[in-house]
Structure 1
Amino acid sequence: MPSESVTVERHDPFAVYDPETLVASDPIEIDAPAMLVWEILTDLPRYGEWNPFCVWAQSTLEMGAAVEMRLVDYANPGALAPNCEYVCAFEPGRLLSWELLDNEVWPYPARRDQMIEELGPEKCRYQSTDAFFGPNGIHVMRFCGPWVTRAFNDTAKALKARAEAMHKGA
């Protein structure tokens, strides 16, 4: 009997969101298995050991669960900014996303996607995006876009270093 192949559609923020309000890290190739990178991304208590942007995080990572974070404030060096978003996608080895919904108190909705693409048994590609929504999205992009891009690139480079060191057993 022939085996069935199942194609799982990839989440593509570049096709879904307005490019005028989408921040993206550079795609980065990591010489480590995709599942090892996934394990690092989902081990929130250890973010402070390697992540230069999100230095503290806590969540069950269940759908809809809060993700409490402390972020380095690139616009105000030396300061940490508290942040809370909610898990909206969780695909092991592939996609970890959280979002901030629009509300009257903080009318700046956004969605962060962290994507892993397996390139082979010991190689993958990582990229992170943040889409800013609603009528304030373009203003958030103009104010925050450059430093969020820097923060995401810093995180991607640190993730690469952490995963490759762990994969080599260092």
Structure 2
Amino acid sequence: MAKAENLVTSIQVEIDAPVALVWEVLTDFARYAEWNTFCPELETTGRLGDMVYMQVRIPGTDQVIPVNEYLVAWEPERLLSWEQRPTDENKDAARRDQYLEAVGPGRTRYFTTDLFLGLNAETIMREHGAWVKQGFDQVARDVKARAEALNAQRQAGLR
């Protein structure tokens, strides 16, 4: 059962870039290594139900761990989600949602959540929640920096 105390929520950032551009950044998985310090590698087909293979860097360390989840939501310019499902070998489960909202001309609000689920939810939150929060906060700052830099580049190219 999902419990509010097992939810990690990143900071919300307002990004000086159109929502379409922020969506482009989030779904250009091949370029994650160029900007995403928490998840420097991600591979997926982008099709619902397919695997999402990630490498996640534990904040403050050089340790990178593999995380394999399933793509469960793809709502362009609104929501991108994947989830870890329990298996016989690993009972851990979680769902990550990344939210986008256009908040004005050329401005976007972004944040992400991770809900720990299943038998080990409380243990996962206790042992990993703090560094997941730290990593998600960094992703919010990273996606803001990347989208704003691309937006500035494209604006300069139009002049």
Q: What's the TM-score, normalizing by structure 1? A: 0.87
Q: The residue matched to 2:146 in structure 1 has which SS?
A: helix
Which residue in the other structure is 2:157 paired with?
A: none
SS, match of residue 26 in structure 2: helix
- Correspondent of 1:129 among 113, 120, 140: 113
Give identity over the alignment, percent: 44
Unaligned 5+ segments in structure 2 are 155-159
- What amino acid maps onto 1:68 in structure 2? Y
Q: Which residue of the partner structure matches residue 11 of structure 1?
A: none
Describe the superposition over 1:104-124 as per-residue Cα deviations: whole angstroms up to 9, x where unpaired: 211010000000011123001
Q: Tell me the alpha carbon deviations over residues 107-153 of structure 1, each in whole angstroms, 9 at most, x when there is no partner.
A: 01000000001112300100000000112101100111100000000
* Structure 1 outlier segments of 4+, above 2 Å: none
Deviation at 1:59, TM superposition (A): 0.5
TM-fit CA distance, 1:61: 1.2
CA contact (8 A) 2:58 2:135 kept: no
2:129 to 115, 128, 145: 145
Q: 1: distance between equivalents of 2:51 and 2:137?
A: 24
Q: Report Cα offsets for 1:36-95 as digits up to 9, x if no partner.
A: 0000000000000000100011111100011111110237x2121011100000000000
Find the aligned partners of 1:47 and 1:88 in 2 and give their Cα distance: 19
TM-score (structure 2 length as normaliser): 0.93
Matched residue type, 2:85: L
Residue 35, structure 1, aligned to residue 20, structure 2? yes
AA aligned opposite 1:128? T
Residue equivalent to 1:84:
68
Equivalent of residue 4 in structure 2, options 19, 28, 39: 19
Question: What is aligned with 2:89?
Answer: 105
> Residue type of the partner of 1:161?
A
2:32 maps to a residue whose letter is: Y
Aligned residue identity for 1:53: F
Name the Cα RMSD after superposition.
Answer: 1.2
- Listed as ranges, the gaps of 5+ residues in structure 1 are 1-16
**Whole-angstrom distance in 1 between the partners of 2:97 and 2:48:** 14
Name the structure 2 match of 1:168: 152
Alignment pair present for 1:44 and 2:29: yes
2:54 corresponds to 1:61: no
Mapped partners of 2:46, 2:7: distance in 1? 23
Q: Distance in 1 between matches of 2:37 and 2:83?
A: 20
Partner of 1:4: none
